[in-house]
Amino acid sequence: MRSDRSITERILNVLRPYASNWSGTLGRGDLVIPQREIPRVIHEIVDALHEESTTRKEAGDREIFEVLMSARRSASVQDQADLLRQHFLILLR
């Protein structure tokens, strides 16, 4: 979940200069982006997402083995699943 927060913060940092009220906050959710700036804003958001996705890598056998062995000691299947979710990003295929 930490990476989700970092992605959100990076996107907010790109959008923050375009907040519509004078204090520069995104609290109201209104953005005013000049038309000539839209391509740059889109590229910055895509770059932030791309950088984050390239930092994620596939888990190795040793990492998986260690987490599975520690999960076996958990009291319930739900606790085992929580432990796996804490250590790995699990995607459906």
pLDDT digits (tens, 9 = 90+) for 23-62: 656 566 678 888 999 999 999 999 888 877 666 677 888 9
More confident position, 89 or 55: 89
How much is the pLDDT for 74?
Answer: 86
- For 75, which DSSP code? S
Q: Which are the contacts of 59, defined by CB distance < 8 A and separation ≥ 6?
A: 88
Extract the runs of DSSP E, i.e. beta strands, from 1-93.
none
Tokens of 73: 């000691």
Looking at every residue in the chain, the average pLDDT score rounds to 81
Inter-residue long-range contacts of 19-23, CB under 8 Å, 24+ positions, other chains counted: none
How much is the pLDDT for 29?
Answer: 67
- Write down the pTM of the prediction: 0.50
- Alpha-carbon dihedral sign for residues 77, 78, 79, 82: positive
Rounded to an integer, the average pLDDT of 9-20 is 85
